[in-house]
Chains A and B, each alone.
Chain A
């Protein structure tokens, strides 16, 4: 449904995205994950036809966004990070205007308008001026705008930004209700959102894709390591050496005691169950054990690992270059 090949976008000297290639299948929900300035918005703007790419190709629903922009745009609903609202218009007037410029037949406009308003809980707000609506409702109008022409592809740039927790939940419900009928790309830096709603995730950093996979695969790949969290009381000096007797244990971190209890983190390679061995070692050290639990690696860890590793590598390269320069 969406094909992106070797997409590069440069703003003057700055390269916003570099050689981005991916594909989204029909009915799939793709999460676009990355720190601020990673190139999420740039990629989405190219796909929505807002501006052309410097190099590479992108097509939506079989239409190249650059060669046949009008056909592609008819099939895409796009909600930018800031909903593009004419705040001095009423909700109805605004949505009618959008319906017209998106090419909906005159006869079908009212039906589409009512349908979208019902889906987004905007009934009864049609007469209100957009400038009098709360942030949450404005966001809904923004989403209504992207759905009004019943597009095959929906591109949402940080759709939950600025919403309160209840609204975020409602919003996720809504996204889930769109599953299957539409192909959806949504960008976010809120990680639970991705693991909850998306079929696949693209992690982008510094304008380049660093990972594409399902949330499950990403976490299990990264999650080979395991973390065991302990809470112990007593004198902890001997604990690390005892714990290191367990072959799977890679690292032991002991934090300052609060109320006499030390939080301890044990990092293991995750090859085998070691919780019982850990508890034995704690008792052996003469400590009181208050808590023992494993912590699954979350998408957050994957994200942080991938996006910071990149940064570190770059830093290393920079340093290498710097020293070369000095050598010359």
Chain B
């Protein structure tokens, strides 16, 4: 346990002394903040226009759940930004240790693979949490200024969804970083894999064959949609949790095989 915590602490330290962490945080805050503004203002404008129009025609305005629409859109944007920023967080996790030779210290210390990998994963999850905190603050702002009060559900599920999606992406990045000692190679491969997991949905199209169904199931974004709508479906949770376990398992296999090949 102490070993695990030491790795977590070290990982956080490594992230926060490098400029990468601050650039990632700054970009994420700026881009997500900008989109929050755009989405909110455009939706409010649309609702007002619809209100005017219905007044002109003397009919009741169509019912729109404004906070839900804003949150839904906002959390989808968050997921897209994550696709681009997660490779930046994970690219160095193992690649840098290999390049600098510090992996020799870790491998010759009485540490288990599990402590090492879980420690690194936890460190990055904490970073992700820090990254997503303003998101939840913004959502609560929306809640405060809404009349009548919207349900809190979508805020929680959206946040949980972003964490689960982020976690799955992080473990994929972790695994890829363990394959190489070059950060750029790790980041590029990671982008490639994310893009494939992203567009696989479109490739599957609307077909109903088993192949199409399978492809649709693999689409990492497909499982995220329900979270943004405030629906907590155990199938999606299971999907992301299994992705996380698969990623961690593959990382462990990769580290072991690196030892044998090295």
Contacts and interface: CB of A to CB of B under 8 A. Distances in A.
A93 B9 CA distance: 11
B97 to A, nearest CB: 9
Interface stretch (A82-90, A219-227, A250-258, A259-267): A82-90
Interface residues of B, number: 27
A76 B109 CA distance: 9
A51 B262 contact: yes
A82 B101 contact: yes
A102 B102 contact: no
A138 to B, nearest CB: 12
A74 B106 CA distance: 12
Contact of B2 (A50, A69, A87, A100): A100
Contacts of A80: 101, 104-105
Contacts of A101: 3, 6-7, 106, 109-111
B204 to A, nearest CB: 40
B2 A145 contact: no
A31 interface: no
B53 interface: no
A322 interface: no
Contact of A78 (B10, B108, B112): B108
Interface string A33-47: 000000000000100
B17 interface: yes
A50 to B, nearest CB: 5
A106 B18 CA distance: 28
A49 B259 CA distance: 10
A59 B94 CA distance: 28
B102 A86 contact: yes
A78 B104 contact: yes
Interface string B1-31: 0110011011001100110000000000000
A97 B10 contact: yes
A209 B17 CA distance: 45
Nearest to A142: B105
Given A88-B17, A101-B110, A51 B259 contact: yes
A87 B101 CA distance: 11
B145 interface: no
Contacts of B101: 80, 82-84
B108 A11 contact: no
A93 B261 CA distance: 32
Contacts of B106: 101
A76 to B, nearest CB: 7
A140 interface: no
Contact of B109 (A52, A73, A87, A106): A73
A102 B14 contact: no
A50 B105 CA distance: 9
Interface in A16-56: 45, 48-52
Nearest to B16: A88
A69 B256 CA distance: 13
B199 to A, nearest CB: 37
Contact of A50 (B10, B17, B107, B111): B107
B102 A84 contact: yes
B149 interface: no
B235 interface: no
A102 B2 contact: no
Contact of A49 (B3, B17, B103, B108): B108
B259 to A, nearest CB: 5
A11 B261 contact: yes
Contacts of A74: 110
Given A51-B262, A73-B110, A97 B104 contact: no
A73 B108 contact: yes
B13 A76 contact: no
A60 to B, nearest CB: 11
A51 B260 contact: yes
A131 B230 CA distance: 48
Contact of A89 (B13, B111, B260, B262): B13
A17 B13 CA distance: 39
Contacts of A320: none
Contacts of A48: 104, 108
Given A50-B107, A71-B110, A98-B109, 4 more contacts: A50-B262, A84-B104, A89-B13, A101-B110
Q: List the 4 closest A-B pairs by CB distance, nearest first.
A: A84-B105, A100-B6, A73-B110, A48-B108
15 contacts: A11-B261, A49-B107, A50-B107, A50-B108, A51-B107, A69-B110, A80-B104, A80-B105, A84-B101, A84-B103, A84-B105, A87-B100, A101-B111, A102-B110, A106-B2
